[in-house]
Amino acid sequence: MSANGNTKVSGQGPDHVAIIMDGNGRWATQRGRPRLFGHHAGAARVREIVAVCPDLGVKYLTVFGFSTENWKRTQSEVSGLMSLFRAYIQKETRGLVKNNVKVRFIGDRIRLDPKLVALMDDLETATDHCDGTNLTVALNYGGRDEVARATKRLAKDVAIGELDPESIDEETLPRYLDTYVLPDPDLVIRTSGEARVSNFLLWQSAYAEYEFVDTLWPDFSAAEFTLLTQGFQLRKRNYGAVAE
């Protein structure tokens, strides 16, 4: 059984893949270009990966776009990323609707520019009817921050009598997370050769399989993504039990 009660049949591909898209800056630096050049190349790569999800049976794709820790970067890089997010939404909306991709954003929107938040809201509304690939983009997202915000919402429900504290168990908190409408990820991929989870989907990935690959994100191809999803089928997931 999985953390959310679902059984993963051996030989089945992942329903939900989450990706830590790392290496844009290094990719650009290797080419003598500014870091934002790498971020633009990385944004184009997202489109290619989303496009192959239906053929691979991947129903849910979650990508890590901007973390709560990324505000520590230079002001010029942060401003450039925010401009890139706005431009990406404006450019990709029509294609996402055409390709039946449902888009959601997770993360704390309070610190984001209101113009960007309005575009995010518009994109979610425009794709709400889509029932193909579910693309979730994490912006100003951190796993610890998400759990803290969820706990605050849970505590408020306890305070007003909507929730009995004695009834709280590990199935309760997920209903307050940003990802409450999503299944837990089956496979988490991190590019660029770094082997750490970087505060991404901490609660949701408790039973996920991980793949750490050396490829920098702008070079991460649909072919490599396909191989990783196929390799997932060979893994045995026992969720703490002993395989028969």
Which of 22, 178, 184, 186 is catalytic? The answer is 22
Which of 15, 70, 113, 157 is catalytic? The answer is 70
Residue 140 has phi, psi (to 5 degrees) of: 50, 50
Q: How far apart are CA 148 and CA 223, in angstroms?
A: 37
Q: How far apart are CA 187 and CA 189, in angstroms?
A: 7
Beta bridge partners of 138: 64, 106
Calculate the CA dihedral of residues 53, 55, 58, 62 and round it to 10 degrees. 0
Whether 144 contacts 204, CB under 8 Å: no
Beta-carbon contacts of 235 under 8 Å, excluding residues fewer than 6 positions away, are 209
1 in helix, strand or coil? Answer: coil
Beta-carbon contacts of 167 under 8 Å, excluding residues fewer than 6 positions away, are none
Which structure tokens are listed for 47?
Answer: 């489109």
User: Would you call 6 a catalytic residue per the annotation?
Assistant: no
User: Would you call 145 a catalytic residue per the annotation?
Assistant: no
Catalytic residues: 22, 70
